[in-house]
Amino acid sequence: METVTFATQNVWTWWFAIYLFLGGMGAASISLAIATDRFLKPHKTLVLWGVVGGVMMLNLGSMILFIHLLHHTAVLVLFTPFAIINQPGAWIAWGTQFIMWVQIAGLLYAMSYLRESTFWLNFPLAGTVIKSTAFARIADFGARFRGLFAWLAMLAGFGTAAYTGLLLQSFPAVTLWHNPAVPVLFTVSAFSTALAYLMLVMLVFIRNREDHALQVLFERTDVLLLALELFIIYTLFNFTLSGSESGYRSATLLWESPMWVVGFLGLGLLLPFLVELRSLLKGWSGSAPMVIACILILNGGYILRHMFMYSGVYAFPW
Amino acid sequence: MTHYAMVIDLNTCVGCNACMAACALENQTPVWADRFRTYVHDRESFSGNEVHRHFMPRLCNHCDNPPCMSVCPTGATSKLSTGVVMVDENLCMGCQACAMACPYGARYEVTYKDIKLGKEFYGVLKRNAPSMDKCSFCNHRLVNNELPACVSTCVGSSRLFGDLDNDMDPVTKLVKSGKAVPLMAHLGTRPNVYYIPAR
């Protein structure tokens, strides 16, 4: 009975990391874009980038998960709210609802903006749909209850971001996952990557000088989120390095991985943190450093989830 | 009430794997992919010039607080009043969250391909849908007052099956005496498979 086998899992691998990454970032992008439009500065272009981009990310991530299901038609039961009444402890049931509602509310919020966008009106096929009467009616409905849909999208977006961590936390056998730091870490990371995505869009595609104050606010927020992420990582290691062999082995796996140490901690967190800090204190002459910092944050966001999936250690008593 | 439990005596398990074979035939598991509802691990240890072999049979622990059930989004995993944890293959979408949650590695997948191969291998296959699968304590036998296939076939009587709500049951006595202990009790899963450690 003393024999113990330590093993990592091969059930949810890189594809699940992509789902967690795109799900968290996509939902947080919708939340942040709508929150910006409602409370900071009316910004239709940013809403369209946030919502359309977010919906694409969420669908791509969900599609990857769907492909890997064993029994595809059985998933239909999750699309009704009864799924969470039936299984209130199952985070996938909650997550499906969050993902569904953040997209519905986000699109209803943004549909009237789509009708004003020359780019989307001229877009093949999509333009035809946008110009249709049915689309106009739904868009008008969305515009009439814009406040309601804004709150629904923001809350469901936050729920989706938090769900990605809460899901991992619900697996008791793995110390790296089953602790309170994980949902907080994944939520903070989701919003940090979403900010990086929105900043990247503003710097590369929108490029409007009037957005400078908004860009600075995003940078300030992201600096705080990155600092918070570093602190959570520290507490997580403080926790896993003692207390259980499973946790210790997970921590060792992470620390011995150049992908984690260099790719995530160094290039995905610390370097962007310093670049953004310098941007806030002294500024940069061009946008290139901030563009690179945003790309590194996005890269780091994926690596965090990838490494988490591969470093969860089970301790089997045989 | 009935509360089923199993005791496995590691001193009498000889590693013949008859339990695996009986279970595989009874429950038509995808043996071609090396996936079984019960599995006997074979380990060697060394002390000086002596080599010792240890056998460790494992299966679903039918926990009273099963993490596989709480994470199941469709409700495909449920617990019967007898304590048996069951999977409804028609409800299961195969997200495999149960496999991630189970500390005992008791879950495995049955894919579309396995269904096809199963029909060729077993002739008539009892299941039609792919899903996650695991031991059911042979619930279909229990309702007919039969023992699980692994228990009835165990040549060394290493596996004992009984009712924890019956104080006179040998299994209950072994559990209450503390001779039989659960695996990883610290996780709070409250398993119903107990082991008598090897001396």
Among the partner-chain residues A3, A74, A171, the one whose CB lies closest to the CB of B101 is: A171
Range of the domain at A35: 5-316
CATH number of A90's domain: 1.20.1630.10
Residue owning tokens 């790309």: A295
Return the minimum-mean-pLDDT range out of A226-235, B62-71, B119-128, B189-198: B119-128
With cut-offs at 50, 70 and 90, classify the pLDDT of residue B48: confident
For B197, which residue in chain A has the nearest alpha carbon?
A1
Which residue type is seen at B107?
A: R
Among the partner-chain residues A9, A69, A172, the one whose CB lies closest to the CB of B95 is: A69
A292 touches chain B (CB under 8 A): no
For A178, which residue in chain B has the nearest alpha carbon?
B101
Q: How many Å lie between the alpha carbon of A88 and the closest alpha carbon of chain B?
A: 8
Sequence ranges of the domains in chain B: 4-196
Q: Which of B93, B102, B114 to mutate to test the interface with A (most CBs of A within 10 A)?
A: B93
**Model confidence at B135: pLDDT above 70:** yes
CB contact under 8 A, A74 and B41: no
The larger pLDDT score, comparing residue B125 to residue A299, is at: A299
Among the partner-chain residues B90, B188, B195, the one whose CB lies closest to the CB of A1 is: B195
Task: Give the pair of three-digit tokens for residue B91.
Answer: 């409800």
pLDDT of residue A33: 98
Average pLDDT across chain B, whole number = 96
CB contact under 8 A, A3 and B56: yes
What is the fold, at CATH topology level, of the domain defined by B4-196? Answer: Alpha-Beta Plaits (3.30.70)
Residue B89: list chain A partners with CB under 8 A. Answer: 71
With cut-offs at 50, 70 and 90, classify the pLDDT of residue B96: very high
Q: How many domains does chain A fold into? A: 1
**Which of A251-271 are b and which e, b meaning 16 or more Cβ less than 10 Å from the residue's Cβ?**
bebbeebeebeebbbebbbeb
The ipTM of this complex is 0.92
**Which of A285-313 are b and which e, b meaning 16 or more Cβ less than 10 Å from the residue's Cβ?**
eebeebeebbebbbbbbbbbbbbbbbbbb
CB contact under 8 A, A171 and B188: no
Q: How many Å lie between the alpha carbon of B67 and the closest alpha carbon of chain A?
A: 7
Task: Give the pair of three-digit tokens for residue B110.
Answer: 């049955």
SS3 (DSSP) at A230: helix
pLDDT in tens, chain A (318 residues): 567 899 999 999 999 999 999 999 999 999 999 999 999 999 999 999 999 999 999 999 999 999 999 999 999 999 998 999 999 999 999 999 999 999 999 999 999 999 999 999 999 999 999 999 999 999 999 999 999 999 999 999 999 999 999 999 999 999 999 999 999 999 999 999 999 999 999 999 999 999 999 999 999 999 999 999 999 999 999 999 998 999 999 999 999 999 999 999 999 999 999 999 999 999 999 999 999 999 999 999 999 999 999 999 999 988
Q: In this structure, how many other beta carbons lie within 10 angstroms of the beta carbon of residue A207?
A: 10
pLDDT of residue A2: 62
Among the partner-chain residues B58, B74, B198, the one whose CB lies closest to the CB of A74 is: B74
CB contact under 8 A, B75 and A71: no
Residue B181: list chain A partners with CB under 8 A. Answer: 1
CB contact under 8 A, A70 and B109: yes
Give CA–CA dist B55/B108, Å, rounded.
Answer: 21
Q: How many Å lie between the alpha carbon of A198 and the closest alpha carbon of chain B?
A: 31
**Model confidence at B43: pLDDT above 90:** no
Residue A110: partners with Cβ closer than 8 Å, 6 or more residues away: A34, A47, A48, A51, A52, A142
pLDDT of residue A206: 96
For B106, which residue in chain A has the nearest alpha carbon?
A316
A93 touches chain B (CB under 8 A): yes
SS3 (DSSP) at B54: strand
For B195, which residue in chain A has the nearest alpha carbon?
A1
